[in-house]
Structure 1
Amino acid sequence: MRLHRNLVFAVIDTLNNVFNEGKYADKEISKALKRDKRWGSRDRSFIAETVYDIVRWKRLYAEIAEVKEPFSRPNLFRLFAVWATLKGIQLPDWKQLEDTPTRRIKGRFDELSKTRKFKESIPDWMDELGVKELGEQKWTREIAALNQMAPVVLRANSLKATPKKLRDSLFAESIEAHSLKKYPSAIELDERANVFSTEIFKEGFFEVQDASSQLVAPFLQVEPGMRVVDTCAGAGGKTLHLAAIMENKGQIIALDIYGNKLKELKRRAKRAGAHNIETREIDSTKVIKKLHNSADRVLIDAPCSGLGVLSRNPDAKWKLQPEFLERIRNTQQEILSDYSKILKKGGKIVYATCSILPSENQGQVKSFLASEEGQGFSLEDEKIVLSHESGYDGFYMARLIKNT
């Protein structure tokens, strides 16, 4: 593989923004890919995958290169040299890459790979927390799985297409994909491709949605004609799935504290042909109070640490802090307490997170059921989805029923 100077410089500039300016990797990569219209799909893949790789393995590569944050430009090139050496890529004769100690890099890699926090490139506190919550063996397997690049999974929008029709339509656009047995609406791409530029995306045939995330909407057991409230709807991935299952019949009220996310949901709903969704911004407590005792089903896709989706958001390893976890657990309990009041007697609520930590999952449900607000609720079912077992994102979902 021959390295091209302009592509490598784009990688270095992007890494500088992510590591030194605190920017988000996905947004910075999107910006970088617009820099040169002459770049083809292979060039773009090189930039995106190299940046994600170096972000994912930042701690390991920094230990090998013996550099510390904030990374100077020469040190970012050292990180790049470590990446290239470990990938078996021959380094060009550039001033920025001269005197790279290739043999020492490989030796340091072998030595550091004996220690999990270096091998899996994670902060000390995260490694300790993982062991505490999941146990040594399970955490070792889980963090290794979360360091793999996430596959691209699509959800066929049943309002417009079956999975087979979606697969055939993608094939007509030279994109190959296969069905997933345990996930009836899902198909997985055989190779990464820009599906957003396809005609069938514009026509609303599908949404990009991880296979684990696709388990949540069916778990809520919605039916056409029901009144459903999605309390933390965001940009609406699960809202749209609910609309499809409900065949556009009944009502879905999509709530969020961020109005801009709800605007995006409206755009997505229009493209998907989902007409039974009404958006409401939570700008005061009145919004929730007006809905008390009114819904057949309530979905709480709670804000969380996001530790189950590290494979697609590797920079979260470095942005996440222990103090945030403490705050988010309090928020989760408040949300469960407040939003459970929306449900009417006999209704069902699903509490879901994309976290693998029991303290954000089973622990929160247990605390809620023991609280005053949780009286009259009982746990009907729960699903714990770990990445090393499923091959997809880590997720948790619990279905509670309101008996009184």
Structure 2
Amino acid sequence: MDNARRTAVKVLGEVLQKGAFSNIVLGRELNKSNLNDKDRALATEIVYGTLKYKYTIDVILNYYIKSDLEKMDGDILNILRISLYQMIYLDKIPEFAVVNEAVELAKRNSIKGSRLVNGVLRNYLRNKDINYCDEKNNTEQLSFKYSFPKWIVNLFISQYGTEDAERILNGLNMIPAITVRVNNLKTEYEDAWKLLEDNGYDIEEGKICLEAIIITKGRNVEDNPLFKDGLITVQDESAMLVAPSMDLEEGMTVLDLCSAPGGKTCHIAEIMNNIGEVFAFDIHLSKLPMIEENAKRLGIKNIKCNVLDATKYDTTYKEKADRVLIDVPCSGLGIIRKKPEIKWNKNTNAMKELIEIQRQIMTNACKYVKPGGKLIYSTCTINKEENEENIRWFIKRHSEFTLEPLYYGESDNIIYHKEGYMTILPDKHMDGFFIAKMIRRR
């Protein structure tokens, strides 16, 4: 028989030791398991919760284990991690049950490992009121409280100040709402609303996007007939703001240079009412079928998919486009609430490499824009080096482009910069995001 905690340990091993994506490996393991719905939900909770609070958990473990955690047996370490997560952050599971289950799991590995697990967990229960970090060190306190590596905490403090940095950390730990975008090619907002209610969903209006509906309760959206029939698609509200920022019109030629999995591409085509051309590119051929499948489900017929390396200039598309979207590869610091392993698989060196790639893409993309056309730059990060500083760098070198202001109404998590671009801070309803719109004047 499969076991929720055993499954969680296996998934965490793939993610933390091998760099796998949590959503992919968890989905794979759950699909091949015989877990019931309750245990599937528990495994999911343990995986994402442990990834979210790994820093804090490891600080506590380091107090009781004097050897280097990373040199420990991976399964034993992850058994300890999921056990502390349950005892600290879940209140429905008795502590004795967590310890017993952990010891039984560890026995499958080794008797020695099970003794270590038993000793550490019982020692923690006897001493759990200990203060595990330096109260006088602000970075250390925030890192421990919100469970973020110190380099990310320091980055946010240096860029946003302590107050907003703490707000960002809190937002990135919130459980994301499920938000869907109504497909105007197939239905009206009011009709989709009624059908969702008829299908047993508790829903509310989106925070800022006109096409957005927030699902607060109900079964898996992908099992819903509205999704299967293409009346709705799952998309975060921050991402929903990209296509409306492009000032799209029917009959335009649009290039989306980093398209997969195609959510923004399809939104572009929907706004254009299937009239005009939308070229969807990605560097990986294997990702193009995702875009095509999304388009087919949504009833979109004007998207053309092809392989393109956005870091290399292709003369085929010189001044071809009315609009060019570059949703560039980024550090993903704005979507940690959905992919908490980002905390552990990114570093400052990797971000510097990304910035070089982002600037290569910007340099090439601007050549595809017609005079009078527009270039839209977006990321799912809130790192200013990848956002504001990249835009300043670009405008300084490309005087033919000027920024156009973006505005979507007042919201407490949106920063409208005087230059015209916008930063979205993460909260319960929206990912951290950045959007800039530039028009080519000549």
TM-score, normalized by length of structure 2? 0.84
Cα shift at 1:124: 2.2
The answer to whether the 8 A contact 1:386-1:394 is kept is yes
Aligned with residue 90 of structure 1, among 76, 91, 94: 94
**2:109 corresponding residue in structure 1:** none
The answer to whether the 8 A contact 1:20-1:70 is kept is no
* Structure 2 residue ranges without an equivalent (≥5): 105-116, 406-420
> 1:308 aligns to what SS in structure 2?
coil
Cα shift at 1:9: 1.5
**1:17 corresponding residue in structure 2:** 14
Aligned with residue 104 of structure 1, among 108, 124, 127: 127
How far apart, in 1, do the equivalents of 2:86 and 2:362 lie?
A: 47
Aligned with residue 41 of structure 2, among 5, 28, 45: 45
**2:440 corresponding residue in structure 1:** 402
> 1:290 aligns to what SS in structure 2?
helix
**1:35 corresponding residue in structure 2:** 32
**1:305 corresponding residue in structure 2:** 331
How far apart, in 2, do the equivalents of 1:13 and 1:227 lie?
A: 47
Matches within 5 A, 1:114-193: 115-191=141-217, 193=219
The RMSD of aligned alpha carbons is 2.3
**2:70 corresponding residue in structure 1:** 69
> 1:190 aligns to what SS in structure 2?
strand
The answer to whether the 8 A contact 2:321-2:369 is kept is yes
Cα shift at 1:167: 2.8
Cα shift at 1:363: 0.9
**1:231 corresponding residue in structure 2:** 257
> 2:287 aligns to what SS in structure 1?
helix
**1:222 corresponding residue in structure 2:** 248
How far apart, in 1, do the equivalents of 2:188 and 2:174 lie?
A: 29
> 1:264 aligns to what SS in structure 2?
helix
Q: 1:331-353 deviations in whole A, cap 9, x for unaligned?
A: 11111111111111111111111
Q: 1:179 to 1:23 in 2, by over 3 A?
A: same
Q: Specify the code of the residue in structure 1 equivalent to 2:11.
A: T
The answer to whether the 8 A contact 1:20-1:71 is kept is no
How far apart, in 2, do the equivalents of 1:64 and 1:285 lie?
A: 44
**1:378 corresponding residue in structure 2:** 402
Q: 1:245-296 deviations in whole A, cap 9, x for unaligned?
A: 0111111111111112122101111111011111121169887311111211
Q: Specify the code of the residue in structure 2 equivalent to 1:308.
A: G
The answer to whether the 8 A contact 1:224-1:250 is kept is yes
Cα shift at 1:123: 1.8
Q: Specify the code of the residue in structure 2 equivalent to 1:361.
A: N
How far apart, in 1, do the equivalents of 2:192 and 2:126 lie?
A: 48
Q: 1:220-249 deviations in whole A, cap 9, x for unaligned?
A: 110111111111112111000001101111
* Structure 1 residue ranges without an equivalent (≥5): none
The answer to whether the 8 A contact 2:133-2:144 is kept is no
Q: How many residues align?
A: 397
**1:54 corresponding residue in structure 2:** 50
Q: 1:175 to 1:400 in 2, by over 3 A?
A: same
Q: Specify the code of the residue in structure 2 equivalent to 1:51.
A: V
How far apart, in 2, do the equivalents of 1:111 and 1:10 lie?
A: 35
> 1:223 aligns to what SS in structure 2?
coil
> 2:212 aligns to what SS in structure 1?
strand
Q: Specify the code of the residue in structure 2 equivalent to 1:394.
A: G
**1:345 corresponding residue in structure 2:** 371
Q: 1:102-153 deviations in whole A, cap 9, x for unaligned?
A: 2423545798897111222222222222222222221121112111121111
**1:393 corresponding residue in structure 2:** 431
The answer to whether the 8 A contact 1:230-1:300 is kept is yes
Q: Specify the code of the residue in structure 2 equivalent to 1:105.
A: K
The answer to whether the 8 A contact 1:65-1:105 is kept is no
Q: Specify the code of the residue in structure 2 equivalent to 1:318.
A: W
Q: 1:272 to 1:284 in 2, by over 3 A?
A: closer
Q: 1:275 to 1:123 in 2, by over 3 A?
A: same
Q: Specify the code of the residue in structure 2 equivalent to 1:35.
A: K
Aligned with residue 266 of structure 1, among 274, 278, 292: 292
| Higher alpha-carbon deviation: 91-100 or 339-348 | 91-100
Cα shift at 1:65: 2.4
Cα shift at 1:38: 5.0
How far apart, in 2, do the equivalents of 1:274 and 1:106 lie?
A: 58
How far apart, in 2, do the equivalents of 1:291 and 1:325 lie?
A: 29
The answer to whether the 8 A contact 1:240-1:274 is kept is yes
How far apart, in 2, do the equivalents of 1:75 and 1:329 lie?
A: 34
How far apart, in 2, do the equivalents of 1:262 and 1:228 lie?
A: 17
> 1:161 aligns to what SS in structure 2?
coil
Cα shift at 1:166: 2.4
How far apart, in 1, do the equivalents of 2:357 and 2:313 lie?
A: 18
Q: 1:111 to 1:161 in 2, by over 3 A?
A: farther
| Higher alpha-carbon deviation: 104-113 or 68-77 | 104-113
How far apart, in 2, do the equivalents of 1:283 and 1:334 lie?
A: 11
| Higher alpha-carbon deviation: 283-292 or 71-80 | 283-292
**1:6 corresponding residue in structure 2:** 3
The answer to whether the 8 A contact 2:237-2:429 is kept is no
How far apart, in 1, do the equivalents of 2:312 and 2:152 lie?
A: 38
Q: 1:318-338 deviations in whole A, cap 9, x for unaligned?
A: 011211110111111111111
**2:415 corresponding residue in structure 1:** none
The answer to whether the 8 A contact 1:133-1:359 is kept is no
The answer to whether the 8 A contact 2:253-2:278 is kept is yes
How far apart, in 1, do the equivalents of 2:191 and 2:296 lie?
A: 20
